[in-house]
Amino acid sequence: MPLIGLGTWEADPGVVGSAVQASLDAGCRHLDCAAAYRNEHEVGEALAASGVPREEIFITSKLWNDRRRPADVEAALDKTLSRLGTDYLDLYLIHWPVVWAKDSVMKPDAQASLRETWQTLEKLVDAGKIKHIGVSNYNEAEIKELLSYARIRPAVNQIELHPRLPQTQLVEYCQGHGICVTAYSPLGRGGKTKAGLLTNPTVARVAAVHGVSPASVLLRWNLQRGVVVIPKSVTPARIRQNLEEPWSFRLSEQELAAMATIDDGARFCSPPWSTFADRTRSDDIVTSCLTRLASGIFAVASLDITK
């Protein structure tokens, strides 16, 4: 798996295809996708038009939360394969460690389990539809539980990682157990919020010293930890810069120490169904209320957000 890839989360419809093409033109050979991003068909069209041989590209996708029963897992994979225009995935991840009823949001399914989901994924590896399987947004306790029954060990845990949220203990745990870590939102969601890391003074100072972009500093920070990064961009020049510039310098121990002062545990992605260890009591109350509400709503309605 190439250490730098292109993330497609929040890439707008009609734009993601050109971003994929620009990325492949720049030499990127790692694409991170998901059924829930609702743009896999555009990624597939760009792949077909690129002319790049399939075997040269590492493609990741993710299984959404309401596809947990064996038949639904395989059907979801088949739909992703069709949309991407390929007959196998290099990596398929369980998107979140939760179990929902099919075509619902946050409605529990007592007849399904993450264990059975994983065992189904193992069979799909055996069938040749997937080369590697892994997880996303798993905490240490959830990884431990998975390892207790996995016949095929998880290859990857994809989690939010940037200097504001280094998650050092979880990273070290995964790497110590042979599980590669991939960082999503490695730029801290860019400049979309006032807390965006691209405008952080410490990051800016380090970038100025090396004559590189703040984005390259943020990507280099993760790369030096042995973490794969999948920054999202739709601008050809930035895509190329993200692929090339982080390899042109190395952060010193003093710079890493300065970057460590940015850590405040802030998350940019924390949906109500998350199981993060740093959830508050208020988070748990909101989740409980939404789960009860969802059970009522989806007893009479259905919703497939991956369409």
Q: What is the mean pLDDT of residues 187-205?
A: 78
Domain 6-297 has CATH 3.20.20.100: yes
Task: Please tell me which residue in 37, 88, 92, 138 is annotated as part of the active site.
Answer: 37
Instruction: Report how far apart, in Å, the C-alpha atoms of 247 and of each of 211, 220, 233, 258 are.
Output: 13, 7, 18, 20
Q: Looking at the predicted structure, is the pLDDT value of residue 195 above 60?
A: no
Residue-wise pLDDT for 157-183, tens only, equals 999 999 999 999 999 999 999 999 999
Residue 184: active-site member: no
- Please, what is the average pLDDT of the chain? 95
| pLDDT tens-digit readout, 248-272 | 999 999 999 999 999 999 999 999 9
- Edge-to-edge strands, sheet with 228-229: 6-7, 30-32, 58-63, 89-94, 130-136, 156-160, 180-184, 228-229
Rounded distance between C-alpha atoms, residue 157 and residue 138, angstroms = 7
Q: Is 224 helix (H, G, I), strand (E, B) or coil?
A: coil
> In this predicted model, which residue has the larger pLDDT, 12 or 24?
24
- Contact present, 9 and 37 (Cβ < 8 Å): yes
Name the phi and psi angles at 59, rounded to 5: -115, 125
**Host H or E run for residue 135:** strand 130-136
Whether 124 shows a pLDDT value over 80: the answer reads yes
By DSSP bridging, strand 30-32 and strand 6-7 are parallel
Model pTM? 0.96
